[in-house]
Every structure is written in structure tokens, then in C-alpha cells.
Amino acid sequence: MSSLVAASDLARAAYCPRQLYYARRDDDRAPPPAVREVRALAFAYPDLLDAPDDELAACPISVSPAAYRENLARLRERDDWGALTDPVARDALLAGKDCRGVAHKLVRSPGDGDHDQPTVPSLVSPGEPPERGVWEPQRVRAVALAKALAWEREASIPRALVEYPAVGVVRTVRLTTGNKAAYRRALRVARDLDFVPSRLRDSAKCESCAYRERCGVKTWSLASLLGR
């Protein structure tokens, strides 16, 4: 088990190898309480759909209560709404050929039988999605979970899910050639990381990084960039 790369490490490798270096050095992997609070929303979609404005406003959502209910109403139209709200398992530890990680949900696909058909993993993200698709670090982590589940079940797992409960949106990550290539790149970085990687330069990624100060990277606001 110790030789397996953590799926969360692959996400960091895809985001910033230097961030992964600091996280490993400090053995810093536990999510903060705020992350756990957002992830809890993913297990309460039906209740949140019917919740009044004041209750939603007290939740860690990133949009207005009205917009949140609209997003959940669209989510309810998905074929896998029932499976999302009643997952086969929660916080399932998966161990594959190369990596291990926790799937926050195992979700039965629409049309699957009650028992024998493979499920798909769902990663619950505390952030917000891009306009379309899924951010690369989350795509890499989702692919890692799908491959680990496929290894355990000896079955083909062609997709995974990424949930953004802070906005009430769920996106599908398919195991395409491009997504599997991104996974392999991150796996190589995570395995070979025995040195301090170079800093990113003027990257927006650094603004929200918990290791920004110790990293020493210079970040620039829009105003400072315009004045340069």
C-alpha cells in the first residue's frame, strides 16, 4: 500500500509540483473543517432543494439561494439524481495498481442492475467549477479514482463524477485519451518528486495557495500588473 501514490497527491502534482512538495514535507493532507462543511452538502441535495432562503443562506454555498435552488432543480433532471442522493457507499477507500484514494461516493450508473453492475466514483470538491468541464487537478484525481475502482472490481469504469455542492453542480469526467494522459503525467511527477520544484511565475494559482509565503513566490494583482 505504501508504494501507491495518493490520488490527492496527483491532483497537487497537476496543479503545482511545488505545492505537492510542501504538502508531503509537512505531511499535510487532512482537509480543513471548512472543506468538510461544504462536502457535507453533497449528501443533502433533496433537503437543500426544498430549504427556504434563510436556511440556504446559512449554508456554505457560493451562489444566492435562488440560484442554488435552480442549479439543484437542473441536477434533479439528471438520470443519476437518485443514485447521487442515495450512493452505494460513502468515503470508500480505493486501492489500484498505481494509486489509492477516497471516493466520497460510489454511485450506481443509470440503468445499472441492483447488484452486479459496477458503480462509478464521485469526487466532492469544495470549490466552484469552470464554465465548462472540470479543472485539470480534479480531472486527474477523478481518473485516478476510476482506475483504482476498476482495478479493485476487475471491471471497466469509463467515467467518474465531480460534484461541486457549493454551487449545486455535478460534472462527468470520462476516461478519454487526453484525461488518461494527464493522469499519467501527474503520476510521473508525483513518483519522481525528490527535489524542490521551481516556483511558478506570476500564476493566479499562487493567490489561494496555503504555501505561498513559505514558497516565496511573487504574485501580482491586476493593478500592479497594469502599473508595471
Residue 21: its pLDDT value, please?
77
Rounded Cα gap, residues 128 and 96, in angstroms: 28
Whether 153 contacts 118, CB under 8 Å: yes
User: Taking the model in full, what pTM does it have?
Assistant: 0.85
User: With bands split at pLDDT 50, 70 and 90, how would you rate the model's confidence at 84?
Assistant: very high
Residue 197: its pLDDT value, please?
55
Q: Could you give the 3-state DSSP secondary structure of residue 90?
A: strand
Task: List, for residues 171-211, the tens digit of each pLDDT value.
Answer: 999 999 999 999 999 999 999 877 665 656 556 666 667 76
Within 77-135, residue ranges assigned H as helices are: 81-85
DSSP helix, strand, coil percent of the chain (3-state; round to 5)? 45, 15, 40
User: With bands split at pLDDT 50, 70 and 90, how would you rate the model's confidence at 222?
Assistant: very low
Could you tell me whether strands 99-108 and 89-95 are parallel, antiparallel, or unpaired per DSSP bridges? antiparallel
Rounded Cα gap, residues 21 and 73, in angstroms: 41
Identify the residue whose cell numbers are 476516461: 175
Q: 141, 138, 140, 146: which is closest to 96 by C-alpha? A: 146
Residue 198: its pLDDT value, please?
61
Mean pLDDT of the chain: 86
Find the mean pLDDT for residues 149-162. 95
Find the mean pLDDT for residues 99-127. 84
Domains of the chain, earliest start first: 5-30+79-226 (3.90.320)
User: With bands split at pLDDT 50, 70 and 90, how would you rate the model's confidence at 110?
Assistant: confident
